Amino acid sequence: MTQSPQLVIDFTKVNRSDVNIVGGKNASLGEMISTLAPKGILVPPGFATTADAFRAYLTSNTLEDAIADHLAALAAGRIDLHAAGQKIRALILGGDWPAATAEAILTHYRALGQTVKQTDAPVAVRSSATAEDLPDASFAGQQETFLNVSGEAALLDACKRCYASLYTDRAISYRQIQGFAHDQVALSVGVQLMVRADTGGSGVMFSIDTESGFPDAVLINAAWGLGENVVQGAVDPDEYQVFKPFLNNPKLTPILAKRLGAKTIKMIHDRDGTPRNVPTSRAERQRFVLSDSEILDLARQAKIIEDHYGQPMDMEWARDGGTRILYIVQARPETVQSRADLGTLKSYAVQKPGPVLLKGLSVGSAAVAGRVSIIESADDIARFVEGSVLVTSTTDPDWVPIMKRAAAIVTDHGGRTSHAAIVSRELGLPAIVGCGNATHILHDEQDVTVSCANGEEGIVSEGLSEITVTEESLKILPHTHTKVMLNLANPSAALRWWRLPTEGVGLARMEFVINSEVRIHPMALAHIDQVSDPKAVAEIERLTEGYDSKPAYFVDRLSRGLSRIAAFCYPKPVIVRMSDFKTNEYADLLGGHDFEPHEENPMIGFRGASRYYSDRYRDGFALECQAIARLRGQMGFDNVVVMIPFCRTPEEADKVLAVMAEHGLKRGQNGLQVYVMCEIPSNVLRAKEFAERFDGFSIGSNDLTQLTLGIDRDSDALAALFREDDPAVLWMIETVIREAHKVGSKVGFCGQAPSNDPTYAQHLVGFGIDTISVTPDSFVQVLRNVAKAETAD
């Protein structure tokens, strides 16, 4: 007796090797349900129809030959794609369910309902093709999904429509292009209890950073309502980033970034159950979809799933509006970064960019100049001009053929996990998503430059700018005794340097992070009542909305900004220098004018250490200290070293160290190291006294040259005389290294000189410097020069 084929199979009995039986998507759901539940991964229960059930459906309705005939007619050009697709789908929809299959589906459906004590339980009905989720991610999402299906007749109908969707026009053409035999692909239907995400939230997450491929960060997107809007890019979701290595420690909150998305719409169920988009309320738009503990919970799940599969993963999640339980509703391998060539590092720079036209979220790190082609709807795809910059509202799988022919992609809506972002990344194109109104601001045939080169913010600027590309091989880099580190200031681009073999960060200038992440003067946040400009007050109120207090805004934004710089090379040291704006620059921060004196010579004025213990800035410095304490404590980045700039005397150093200790940053406590900049001749002349007070020095050649030679570092007229290799300057450097080493203190170098001229590193190696810190673009060159100097010794 031959055994009758299994038509329906419960997810608890499916695992990832069952792709031939239930397709990639359902095999993955089954794998998680059957093996990851004990580890705390919740996937809504359900069942899948098998590939055999699909074939039995075709056979019992004698559809195979008819389908083959239509496909043959299409291949021979006797009918077009649209007609062939329509005919085949009609044939499938017109079939009858074989009694055994219908019975098997309904028996499982009733049993599923019983688990929640509900007849006609609402379910999600999803298609899973047996050749789906191949390396090419643009194949995903080809077939239909039906949400909130309730009742036996409706379920059978939805299953049939999933079957028909194996022959959507785009699925047929995709198989043709990829060379898949149509009759070798079967469709399995997954039926799962609905998560009430319509009243909750949902989104997508990746277990690595999608842009840089940094393996230690989870990226989560979240929106209100059902998840389809996030996947399609119809909504601008919240975005969160979490540092994975700290997730095992329940005391830490390693959330590297939280970006509030516009979330103007949400998908809910209509009265008759069909999904539909409605506008969100103001309160919903202003709130993060996920709490911090939910962000960490999801990130932990991402890590468990990634560990289980042994590779980076791309997942969908949903939160039930009633129970607030978080579910994973899909998991598949990440396909772009995990296949990227790790041997080279390409960086792009836009020369003389024109005025900024638009900003959005950058995808990738490339830049391109080209001509705009605006396509408002998929019907106009034929109008697309080959090789131009595709500007559109959102994209879906129908758009892939023109996306492949675009130079860059710019969209009004969508986050980093939207269809447009995923396909662009896969195609290696620069894309800027979620620009808001690109389709209105730009116009056809306009010349623009699209740049993702500056970090997370993508910029469209006017005109065709020249773009330079540098490509460095990371394969054969020398190993050096002198440590080479990075000078970093842009948190949004920090993660992309993870592949450079850096020994850490030698200089992270806090003032740059305040400028980009905080924008408000810390004293204005500590004393908003003293801000006289009503416009500044209004803007400060707007920016700090949703935070517990104004000082809390500063501490939160600054610590998170710095955390990305601290994360990419953890546990290597990251030296964060306390703020070193000049008074005129502090005054330019929002609300800053009321707190800063006018100075004729800000460069040698109220800057650096002298501010930190002064009544004029003490409260602002307290906030800087709190941000560092949070970064090292609550967030877990104990690799962060603090550095004091522009410290004129040892007595001043004592005062600053005392103020720091008051704010929880006591040198030596919890491993805290404190460095001092060596950038004033007094730092060299009294090196021993400074060395006794600090863990090390970092030489700032910009100020040290300025103050040794008496040349304004910003003067064009004197630029030729401003030489860091002047004997007087070299004497200063050599002397401080010698004096510091006598008492066992370390000396690094973080001025601009070796970044501008990599051969300068050879002087420093000759003097016995311990570390040299340079900008990322010159890192490889400097490393080579250091190696050369070391072997010449």
Residues labelled as active-site residues: 419, 750
> Judging by DSSP bridges, how do beta strands 674-678 and 696-699 pair with one another?
parallel
- Choosing among ligand PEP, Mg ion, none, which partner's interface includes residue 258 (Cβ < 5 to 8 Å by kind)? none
- Look up residue 94 and give its two tokens: 């017109």
Closest CB to ligand PEP among 526 and 707? Answer: 707
Task: Kindly list the distances between the CA atom of residue 689 and the CA atoms of 50, 652, 653, 699, 790, in Å, as whole numbers in the listed order.
Answer: 78, 12, 10, 16, 30
Measure the CA–CA gap between 729 and 744, rounded to whole angstroms. Answer: 23
Measure the CA–CA gap between 422 and 424, rounded to whole angstroms. Answer: 6
Measure the CA–CA gap between 243 and 162, rounded to whole angstroms. Answer: 39
- Choosing among Mg ion, ligand PEP, none, which partner's interface includes residue 502 (Cβ < 5 to 8 Å by kind)? none
Minimal distance, residue 778 CB to ligand PEP, in Å: 14
- Choosing among Mg ion, ligand PEP, none, which partner's interface includes residue 750 (Cβ < 5 to 8 Å by kind)? ligand PEP
Interface with Mg ion: number of residues (CB under 5 A): 3
Interface with ligand PEP: number of residues (CB under 6 A): 10
Minimal distance, residue 721 CB to ligand PEP, in Å: 17
User: CB–CB of 509/580 below 8 Å?
Assistant: yes
User: CB–CB of 675/698 below 8 Å?
Assistant: yes
> Judging by DSSP bridges, how do beta strands 771-774 and 746-749 pair with one another?
parallel
- Cβ neighbors of 143 (< 8 A, separation 6 or more) are 127, 128, 129, 132, 162, 165, 166, 168, 171, 187
Q: How many CA atoms lie within 13 A of 510 on its CB side?
A: 31
Closest CB to Mg ion among 16 and 713? Answer: 713
Task: Check binding of 141 to ligand PEP (CB under 6 A).
Answer: no
- Choosing among ligand PEP, Mg ion, none, which partner's interface includes residue 751 (Cβ < 5 to 8 Å by kind)? ligand PEP
- Cβ neighbors of 456 (< 8 A, separation 6 or more) are 211, 361, 362, 492, 493
Measure the CA–CA gap between 443 and 295, rounded to whole angstroms. Answer: 39
* Residues 347-376 contacting ligand PEP, CB under 6 A: none
Minimal distance, residue 509 CB to ligand PEP, in Å: 5
Task: Check binding of 701 to ligand PEP (CB under 6 A).
Answer: yes
Closest CB to Mg ion among 216 and 679? Answer: 679
Closest CB to ligand PEP among 360 and 573? Answer: 573
* Residues 661-720 contacting Mg ion, CB under 5 A: 679, 700, 703
Measure the CA–CA gap between 753 and 397, rounded to whole angstroms. Answer: 50
> Judging by DSSP bridges, how do beta strands 574-577 and 640-644 pair with one another?
parallel
**303-334 core/surface letters (b: 16 or more CB in 10 A; e: else):** bbbbebbeebbbbbbbbbbeeeebbbbbbbbb
Closest CB to ligand PEP among 228 and 734? Answer: 734
Minimal distance, residue 503 CB to ligand PEP, in Å: 18
- Choosing among ligand PEP, Mg ion, none, which partner's interface includes residue 334 (Cβ < 5 to 8 Å by kind)? none
Task: Check binding of 12 to ligand PEP (CB under 6 A).
Answer: no
Q: Which of 46, 397, 700, 754 binds ligand PEP (CB under 6 A)?
A: 700
User: CB–CB of 164/92 below 8 Å?
Assistant: yes
The piece of 424-432, 623-631, 700-708, 774-782 that touches ligand PEP (CB under 6 A) is 700-708
Minimal distance, residue 705 CB to ligand PEP, in Å: 8
Task: Write out the DSSP string of 454-483.
Answer: TSSEEEEEES--EEEEEEEE-SSPPP-SSE
Measure the CA–CA gap between 403 and 424, rounded to whole angstroms. Answer: 7
Task: Check binding of 703 to ligand PEP (CB under 6 A).
Answer: yes
> Is the peptide bond between 571 and the residue preceding it cis, with omega within 30 degrees of 0?
yes
Task: Write out the DSSP string of 366-378.
Answer: -EEEEEEEE--SG
* Residues 460-499 contacting Mg ion, CB under 5 A: none
Minimal distance, residue 711 CB to ligand PEP, in Å: 13
Minimal distance, residue 378 CB to Mg ion, in Å: 55
* Residues 494-553 contacting ligand PEP, CB under 6 A: 507, 509
Residue with tokens 């995709």: 174
User: CB–CB of 562/508 below 8 Å?
Assistant: yes
Measure the CA–CA gap between 190 and 185, rounded to whole angstroms. Answer: 16
Minimal distance, residue 782 CB to ligand PEP, in Å: 15
Q: Which of 614, 702, 735, 762 binds ligand PEP (CB under 6 A)?
A: 702
Closest CB to Mg ion among 581 and 637? Answer: 581
Closest CB to ligand PEP among 657 and 680? Answer: 680
Sign of CA dihedral 730, 731, 734, 739: negative
Task: Check binding of 360 to Mg ion (CB under 5 A).
Answer: no
**Nearest residue (beta carbon) to ligand PEP:** 700
The piece of 188-196, 203-211, 449-457, 699-707 that touches ligand PEP (CB under 6 A) is 699-707
Closest CB to ligand PEP among 133 and 679? Answer: 679
SS3 assignment, position 590: strand
Task: Check binding of 724 to ligand PEP (CB under 6 A).
Answer: no
Q: Which of 30, 201, 254, 751 binds ligand PEP (CB under 6 A)?
A: 751
User: CB–CB of 390/444 below 8 Å?
Assistant: no
Minimal distance, residue 677 CB to ligand PEP, in Å: 7
Task: Check binding of 580 to ligand PEP (CB under 6 A).
Answer: yes
Minimal distance, residue 679 CB to ligand PEP, in Å: 4
The piece of 182-190, 225-233, 389-397, 696-704 that touches ligand PEP (CB under 6 A) is 696-704
Measure the CA–CA gap between 233 and 237, rounded to whole angstroms. Answer: 9
* Residues 662-681 contacting ligand PEP, CB under 6 A: 679
- Choosing among Mg ion, ligand PEP, none, which partner's interface includes residue 158 (Cβ < 5 to 8 Å by kind)? none
Residue with tokens 């996937």: 43
- Choosing among Mg ion, ligand PEP, none, which partner's interface includes residue 92 (Cβ < 5 to 8 Å by kind)? none
Closest CB to ligand PEP among 52 and 580? Answer: 580
| In 265-372, alpha helices (H) | 282-286, 292-309
Task: Give CA torsion, residues 428, 434, 437, 443, to 10 deg.
Answer: 0
Q: Which of 104, 290, 432, 750 binds ligand PEP (CB under 6 A)?
A: 750
Residues that bind ligand PEP (CB under 6 A): 507, 509, 580, 679, 700-703, 750-751
Residues that bind Mg ion (CB under 5 A): 679, 700, 703
